[in-house]
Amino acid sequence: MNEAERLVELIPRLRRYARALVGDRAAADDLVQDTLERAWAKLHLYRRGTDLRAWLFTVMHNVHVNKVRATRPTDQLEDEMPELAQRASQGDALMVRDLDRAIGRLPAEQRSVLLLVTLEDMSYDEVARTLGIPIGTVMSRLSRAREKLRAMMLGGPASAKLKVVK
Amino acid sequence: MSDDPQITNSELQAYADGRLGEERSRAVEAWLAARPDDAERIAAYRRLGEELRRAYDPVLDEPLPAWLGGGRAPRPRWHGFARIAGWVVLGAAIGVVAGWEVRDARPVAASRADPGEIMAHRAAVAHAVYSPEVRHPVEVGADQEAHLVAWLSKRLGTQLRAPKLEAVGYSLVGGRLLPGENGPVAHFMYQCNQGTRITLYVRTNVTGNRETAFRYAREGSVSVFYWIDSKTGYALSSADVSKETLLSVANAAYQQLNPP
């Protein structure tokens, strides 16, 4: 099987990841389309024998980051973004339980790590390579993402029960 | 050392992912046994992982859009000739390959072109996912029915109603918002005295605007009666009642939702 065929085989997985990453179906498929365009244009840069899936998800990650940067005047990719700061009416407490939106409220870089580990079942090492970050960063982002998501799904504050474990 | 194993946060994450070796898993388990709060936290991480997979794995089985599965040309984009040219090449390559491989691999999903059938499929999946939930079957309970209906109506952009099904033995448990094919979906859950659950899936903007009579579908163990009424689609699902019982409930719901 050549790269183009294997690339096509990976489309459903790209769509699953994209859907969880951006939430909205149309935006997710746009992201997949842009990723495939770019992957096709860059396929000569892919080194045969290396992990095509990791390479493809790296391409998607880069396309996504560029899109987010292009559509937002301020950089929202920082760890410190107060993810619940936008709206906090009482009705929202109920709605935040919706998994979809809870994921959407995770800082982008934590969301990627959690989704690659959980949906793609990538090893921490693969995630590190795919996102171009050290493995220690993968672990800390994974940990923070889970704790925030758990707190949101419970409707409590993010750090209520978090203990630092060394 | 073994009496007081040093457990790192990374090891806890790996344990939550089921990726820790046997020996370290035992050490983590011993550590957690003495710390119920942390044990609950790690268990919650596992549950979240399962919920994530349940929420997004169905995307794998969705039929590819026309622009990925061949057929129609890609949507026009005017960012530059190179972009479009690239797409024509890729579209041709993928169209050929996908036509043979992707579609062949997923004959059921790819053949679902009918909006009613797609809705019935999604309703059955939603039923299978949420009806076994013990602690969190719904987002908003029936004790806040007015809020629930107002909230879901607002999100779907149309006035919804949660039908009263007490006459056929079912009372409202509550409801939740779900991601649908192309927008939000309302999901109401009902339960009878014996604990049997039935769910009602409501979506708007059904394309094709075809009104349909009751139709029946079966997905695995889940039976679904569904109908479309002026772009609003309804699907009533259950895994535990007979087709006849489900039909009588569907009739009761239909009469309230679509008065003559």
How far off is chain A from B259, nearest CA to CA, in Å? 31
In this predicted structure, what is the pLDDT of residue A87? 36
Q: In a mutagenesis test of the A interface, which of B4, B10, B17 is the best target, namely the one with the most A β-carbons within 10 Å? A: B10
Cα separation, B77 vs A128, in Å, equals: 33
pLDDT > 80? residue A158: no
In this predicted structure, what is the pLDDT of residue B66? 62
As a whole number, the mean pLDDT across chain A is: 78
Cα separation, B195 vs B182, in Å, equals: 32
pLDDT > 70? residue B218: yes
Q: In a mutagenesis test of the B interface, which of A3, A5, A126 is the best target, namely the one with the most B β-carbons within 10 Å? A: A5
In this predicted structure, what is the pLDDT of residue A144? 96
Bridge partners (DSSP) of residue B202 are B186, B234
- pLDDT band at residue B173 using 50, 70 and 90 as cut-offs: very high
Overall average pLDDT of the A96-113 stretch? 83
**Annotated domain spans of chain A:** 1-73, 75-161
- pLDDT band at residue B163 using 50, 70 and 90 as cut-offs: very high
As to burial, measured by CB atoms within 10 angstroms (0-12 exposed, 13-18 middle, 19+ buried), residue B5 is middle
pTM passes above 0.90: no
- CB–CB of B68 and A32 under 8 A? yes
Farthest-apart Cα atoms in chain A, separation: 54
Q: For the domain bounded by B113-257, which CATH number is listed?
A: 3.30.200.100
As a whole number, the mean pLDDT across chain B is: 79
How far off is chain B from A25, nearest CA to CA, in Å? 6
In this predicted model, what pLDDT tens digit does every residue of B136-160 receive, in sequence order? 788 888 988 999 999 999 999 888 9
The reply to whether CATH 3.30.300.30 applies to domain A1-73 is no
Across the interface, which of B52, B64, B86 has its CB nearest the CB of A119? B52
In this predicted structure, what is the pLDDT of residue B237? 95
- CB–CB of B38 and A99 under 8 A? no
**Annotated domain spans of chain B:** 9-59, 64-105, 113-257
Q: In terms of CA atoms, which chain A residue is nearest residue B94?
A: A8
Strand ordering across the sheet containing B140-141? B140-141, B171-179, B184-191, B197-203, B232-238, B222-229, B215-219
- CB–CB of B60 and A13 under 8 A? yes
Q: In terms of CA atoms, which chain B residue is nearest residue A159?
A: B41
Length of chain A in residues, anyone?
166
Cα separation, B260 vs B253, in Å, equals: 13
- Chain A interface includes B147 (CB < 8 A): yes
- Chain A interface includes B19 (CB < 8 A): yes
Q: Is residue B13 within 8 Å of residue A143, measured between CB atoms? A: yes
- CB–CB of A119 and B56 under 8 A? yes
Element (H, E) at B198: strand B197-203
In this predicted model, what pLDDT tens digit does every residue of A58-79 receive, in sequence order? 999 999 988 877 765 544 444 4
In this predicted structure, what is the pLDDT of residue A98? 73
- Chain A interface includes B90 (CB < 8 A): yes
Overall average pLDDT of the B181-200 stretch? 90
Overall average pLDDT of the B21-38 stretch? 92
- pLDDT band at residue A115 using 50, 70 and 90 as cut-offs: very high
How far off is chain A from B244, nearest CA to CA, in Å? 33
In this predicted model, what pLDDT tens digit does every residue of A36-55 receive, in sequence order? 888 888 877 788 778 889 99
Q: Which residue do the tokens 């979240």 mark? A: B48
In this predicted structure, what is the pLDDT of residue B10? 92
pLDDT > 80? residue B210: no
Name, of A92-101, B144-153, B207-216, the range with top average pLDDT.
B144-153
How far off is chain B from A108, nearest CA to CA, in Å? 16
Overall average pLDDT of the B50-66 stretch? 85
pLDDT > 90? residue A118: yes
- pLDDT band at residue B68 using 50, 70 and 90 as cut-offs: low
Q: Which residue do the tokens 């993402």 mark? A: A145
Overall average pLDDT of the A97-110 stretch? 84
What is the CA B51 to chain-centroid distance, rounded?
11
Of A61-75, A89-103, A104-118, give the lowest mean pLDDT range: A89-103
Overall average pLDDT of the B207-230 stretch? 81
- CB–CB of B9 and A166 under 8 A? yes
How far off is chain A from B169, nearest CA to CA, in Å? 28
How far off is chain B from A74, nearest CA to CA, in Å? 24
- Chain A interface includes B30 (CB < 8 A): no
In this predicted structure, what is the pLDDT of residue A34? 87
The reply to whether CATH 2.40.30.10 applies to domain A75-161 is no
The better pLDDT of the pair B167, B113 is held by: B167
Sequence-distant (6+) residues with CB within 8 A of A36 are: A7, A11, A14, B68, B90, B94
Half-sphere exposure of B209 (CA within 13 A, CB side): 1
Burial per residue of B188-217, b for 16 or more beta-carbon CB atoms within 10 angstroms, e otherwise? bbbbbeeebbbbbbbbbbbeeeeeeeeeeb
- Which residues on chain B are in Cβ contact (under 8 Å) with A94? 139-140, 147, 151
- CB–CB of B55 and A139 under 8 A? no
pLDDT > 60? residue A107: yes
- pLDDT band at residue B67 using 50, 70 and 90 as cut-offs: low
In this predicted model, what pLDDT tens digit does every residue of B95-115 receive, in sequence order? 444 433 333 333 334 345 678
Q: In a mutagenesis test of the B interface, which of A7, A111, A115, A146 is the best target, namely the one with the most B β-carbons within 10 Å? A: A146
- pLDDT band at residue B257 using 50, 70 and 90 as cut-offs: confident
